[in-house]
Chain A
Amino acid sequence: MNIISLKNIYYKYSQSKEWTLENISICFKKGEITIILGPNGSGKTTLMKIASLIYKPIKGDVYVDNKNYWSLEESEKLLIRRKITYVHEKAVILKGSVIDNIIYGLRIRGMDKESAIKKAIEILNELEINDILHKNALELSAGQSQIISLARALVLEPLFLFIDEPFSHLDKSKKMKVIDILKRIKKEERGIIISLHEESLVEKISPDNLVEIENGRIVSIKTFQ
């Protein structure tokens, strides 16, 4: 799986009369960091959810390695889906401890509990949050929840990682830690797509592509070397 391409995508929510996304065509490649930048309500999250195969576009096609994703069999879709992970801006936290949350994705993929915990601890060590391992996940702060939901995605080692506003609740040191990890993942030939509304962070992340979006339309796509 090397590339996710969106061709002439149109999307609107059932209650809305206007298009949330209009005529969007874009490619996301493995081994690249892409930042989607735009003000609140510009359609960043919707674009991310269509590219990460959560939402089905109303018009247009989504191709994964030249295969039209939405016309595939359910079993094939699941195989592709398991190589992509999306991290919500507002962290979704499951009942149970922090470790239960992090190993959930591994457990549903059939990994035994011991190996899953071992893998989760490695990620927690890297994120320097191993002190909250056995804490009740529902009692965490917004920042901790955001880190946990990121750790839960990282532990799955996805080929494409979509992160919606990953830094909104993080302090400066955690922001830098996460940026370092994202850069490390990029070197492992994985694709990272981040949505942001703060332009100040773009330089720190040093992305390969910067996509600017406004009112549901792509305004510009810049590619850096």
Chain B
Amino acid sequence: MIIPLIISTSFRILKNTVYTYGEFAITIGATKTQKMILILKESYLGLLASFTMAFSRAIGELGIALMIGGNIKDFTRVMTTAIALGVSKGEFESSLLLGCILVIIMIVISVILRIISRGIKY
């Protein structure tokens, strides 16, 4: 369900990079492989942002997880559906705790992606 979002944002990023850096690669005498590496190097930050956005959407998704997964205990129950179920049952404490864990996971992943994006040197 999140694939169309990744494709549309990544396509836009790659389209601009391919136009500018693809032509530049030809002018400087790069091989096809070198051209591809250059395009990926120049667009990786944008691509990473696109994946982060898609991941954030996916991890916080409730409707799709409920509709497709069905919220079956020990089988298709995920954090978001467990939180929703907990709230409807009046188990606010455990739901709040799960919510906090979800936020922490997102923060940790965002920090890791940030470190990766800074760490990759051209």
Contacts and interface: CB of A to CB of B under 8 A. Distances in A.
Interface residues of A, number: 23
Contacts of A78: 29, 31
B22 to A, nearest CB: 10
A95 interface: yes
Contact of B28 (A53, A95, A105): A105
A86 B42 CA distance: 20
B24 A156 contact: no
A156 B27 contact: no
A94 B42 contact: yes
A100 B38 CA distance: 13
Interface string A84-115: 11111000101110001000110011000000
Interface in B64-99: none
A42 interface: no
Contact of A85 (B21, B23, B27, B31): B27
Nearest to B121: A96
A86 B26 CA distance: 9
Contacts of A87: 27
Determine the interface band of chain B, counting residues with CB < 8 A from chain A.
10 to 19
Contacts of A152: 28
B23 A96 contact: no
Given A92-B20, A95-B42, A54 B122 contact: no
B99 to A, nearest CB: 38
B56 interface: no
Given A54-B23, A94-B122, A96-B122, A156 B28 contact: yes
A46 interface: no
Contacts of B16: none
Given A95-B41, A100-B122, A52 B28 contact: no
B27 A52 contact: yes
Interface of A: 52-54, 78, 81-82, 84-88, 92, 94-96, 100, 104-105, 108-109, 152-153, 156
Given A84-B29, A94-B42, A95-B42, 14 more contacts: A54-B26, A78-B29, A78-B31, A82-B29, A87-B27, A88-B23, A88-B24, A88-B27, A92-B21, A95-B122, A96-B122, A104-B28, A108-B34, A152-B28
